[in-house]
Amino acid sequence: MQFLQLIISGVSQGCIYGLIALGFVLIYKGTETVSFAQGELMMLGAFGGLACMTLMGFPFWLAVLSAIAGMALFGMVLERAVIRPILGQPAFSIVMLTIGVGYTARGLITMIPGIGTETYVLPVPYKDEIWTLGALVVNVEQFAIIAATAVLCALLFVLFKYSKLGIAMQASSQNQLAAYYMGIPVQRLNGLVWGLAAAVAAIAGLLLAPITFVHANMGFIGLKAFPAAVVGGFSSLPGAIVGGLVIGLVESFSGFYLPDGFKDVAAYVVVLIMLMIKPNGLFGEKLRKKV
């Protein structure tokens, strides 16, 4: 029974990592940039949901939808303002830029007088509820995470499989100039990709908030999502979720069975092992330059 409990908590934590990793992979597939700002976007989404629910008094579902929509818009604005001008620069510069965006977001939130430094509880209807299935005790919050992730994945799968969007995204990430020539609206695509990634981050933030509470340093969980993306392979969307699940499960089990402290580094040890045996991740593609 403990075993099953560990699995459920591992899977639900893994879903969060998977969702954030999904955002990374979306941006990587679309623009081949690695965004270190996903964690902070998640934090902003959680704060946005909080503001909608408490400050503006929206009912739950309206608050959730407006937070997600708001973040999607913010993602597109971010792309337009800071990412678009630097596409084409070496990858490292772009990484530094997104680190800067993350810093700024965290700093600005902390600066908001009175609100920034506090920790808040997100008033979700299913807060603190538990379901008992026989001897199994399931935290509804964890269940909500798993269910929402599954629904989101299904939606994204349909989106990419049955539309030209997926191919267009990959084309513009591999060779932007050629994509322009082929009539692909590259800039609109990039905006869409960033908007989508920000929306996914917002969903992750809203799902995570009941468990970790809403505070300015929430974004650091985003750093754990990188191992998830590495395990799954940076260019694979299902890989991101699988990677997240792997990391979540590893953390859950090592927290229980291994001595103190291993839980925090378990994810990173997995990354190093992964990079040694299968550098491109479970689902990644191996490309080499043709000279």
Partner 1 sequence: MRFLFKTDYRQDIGLAKHPGHVFWYSLLALLLLAAPWLIAEYWLAQLTFVLIYAIAGLGLMLLAGFTGLFSLGHAAFLGVGAYAQAVLVGAGWPFPLALACAAGLSAAAGLVVGLPALRVKGIYLGMATLSFGFIVEEVFARWESVTGGNAGMHVKAPTLFGWSLASGEAFYFLCLTITVVATLGMLNLLRAPTGRAFVAIRDSEISAQSMGIHLARYKTLSFALSAALAGIAGALYAHKLQFISPDQFNILQSIDLLLMIVIGGLGSVHGVFLGAIFLITMPQAISLVKDYLPAVIGQAPGLQAAVYGLVLIAFVLFEPMGLYGRWLKIRAYLQLFPFYRKGMFKRQKSFQKSDRLK
115 binds partner 1 (CB under 8 A): no
Residue 158 or 272 having the CB closest to partner 1: 272
The torsion of the CA quartet 4, 272, 25, 68, rounded to 10 degrees, works out to 50
Among 1, 57, 88, 161, binds partner 1 (CB under 8 A): 88
258 binds partner 1 (CB under 8 A): no
92 binds partner 1 (CB under 8 A): yes
119 binds partner 1 (CB under 8 A): no
Assess contact for 204 and 195: CB atoms under 8 A.
no
Which one of the spans 9-17, 53-61, 63-71, 94-102 is the region binding partner 1 (CB under 8 A)? Answer: 94-102
269 binds partner 1 (CB under 8 A): yes
- Grouping H, G, I as helix, E, B as strand and the rest as coil, residue 241 is helix
Quote the DSSP letter at residue 136. E
Give every CB contact of residue 224 below 8 A, 6+ residues apart in sequence.
17, 247, 267
Contact string (CB under 8 A) for partner 1, positions 50-79, x = contact: ------------------------------
- Which residue from 224, 222, 196 is spatially nearest to 39, judged by alpha carbons? 222
Angular region, 32: left φ>0, alpha ψ -120 to 50, beta rest: left
128 binds partner 1 (CB under 8 A): no
Secondary structure element (H or E) that encloses residue 134, with its range: none
- Which residue from 27, 28, 61, 35 is spatially nearest to 195, judged by alpha carbons? 27
Assess contact for 169 and 189: CB atoms under 8 A.
yes
173 binds partner 1 (CB under 8 A): yes
Quote the DSSP letter at residue 182. T
Assess contact for 247 and 259: CB atoms under 8 A.
no
97 binds partner 1 (CB under 8 A): yes
261 binds partner 1 (CB under 8 A): yes
- Grouping H, G, I as helix, E, B as strand and the rest as coil, residue 281 is coil
85 binds partner 1 (CB under 8 A): yes
Contact string (CB under 8 A) for partner 1, positions 204-243, x = contact: ------------x------x--xx--x---x---------
Residue 62 or 91 having the CB closest to partner 1: 91
Query: Binding residues for partner 1, per CB under 8 A?
Result: 28, 31-32, 34, 82, 85-89, 91-97, 99-113, 116-117, 172-177, 180, 216, 223, 226-227, 230, 234, 260-261, 264-265, 267-269, 271-272, 275-276, 279-280, 287-291
